[in-house]
């Protein structure tokens, strides 16, 4: 749970469908002020928002400090690629190394069968093999930052909001009185 409306609604939808849901938030920054008041993802206040949503849903919530991993996998990668004259995409590294690889291993240690996120994407099975599909809202589709996920990873991931529009996600959050229903979307690079 990132602390945003998308992952919060994803948790609520799974809970409503009868799944046992636990919230896990990856803390990537030390406790400090947000970057100049910008609407970035993974800001320190987002951990508090995720915890509040978990409390509202009545689910367990864990915060995992991944600051060192974030520095190495995302920031150092970005700086190194930029110094080589390339245009790095930090969200790719974060999704691959932290949000899916690291998180899947930690979730398994907690006894979870799968990991769900608030990404706008869908998964379809083709002869038993999972395939990544675009989210149904073309303005929100996030497959461009998920393309590198392996079939093995896709087989253990769920995207509950992938078939919804952003407006529908906000409506679901309002219907459930989630404390992040009106929270602005994150924008820009997170560091």
Residue 94 a catalytic site member:
yes
Cα 102 to Cα 165: distance, rounded to the nearest angstrom: 28
Question: 41, 42, 91, 190: which is the annotated catalytic residue?
Answer: 190
- Residue 113 gets which letter from DSSP? S
Question: 41, 42, 91, 94: which is the annotated catalytic residue?
Answer: 94
| Residue among 77, 122, 129 at smallest CA distance from 98 | 77
Residue 91 a catalytic site member:
no
The HSE-up count of residue 12 (CA atoms within 13 Å, CB side) is 27
Q: Do 50 and 25 touch, CB atoms closer than 8 A?
A: yes
- CA-CA distances (angstroms) from residue 56 to 5, 29, 160? 13, 24, 19
Enzyme catalytic residues: 94, 190
């Amino acid at each position: 749970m990132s602390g945003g409306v998308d992952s919060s609604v994803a948790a609520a939808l799974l809970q409503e469908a009868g799944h046992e849901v636990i919230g896990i938030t990856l803390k990537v920054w030390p406790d400090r002020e947000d970057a100049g008041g910008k609407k970035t993802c993974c800001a320190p206040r987002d951990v508090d928002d995720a915890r509040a949503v978990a409390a509202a849903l009545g689910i367990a919530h864990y915060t995992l400090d991944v600051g060192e991993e974030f520095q190495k996998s995302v920031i150092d990668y970005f700086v190194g690629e930029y110094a080589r004259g390339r245009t790095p995409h930090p969200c790719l590294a974060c999704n691959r190394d932290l949000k899916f690889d690291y998180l899947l291993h930690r979730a398994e240690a907690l006894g979870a069968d799968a990991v769900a996120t608030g990404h706008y994407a869908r998964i379809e099975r083709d002869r038993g093999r999972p395939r990544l599909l675009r989210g149904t809202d073309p303005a929100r589709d996030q497959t461009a930052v998920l393309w590198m996920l392996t079939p093995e990873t896709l087989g253990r991931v769920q995207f509950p909001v992938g078939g919804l529009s952003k407006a529908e996600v906000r409506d679901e959050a309002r219907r459930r009185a989630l404390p992040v229903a009106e929270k602005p979307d994150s924008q820009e690079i997170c560091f």
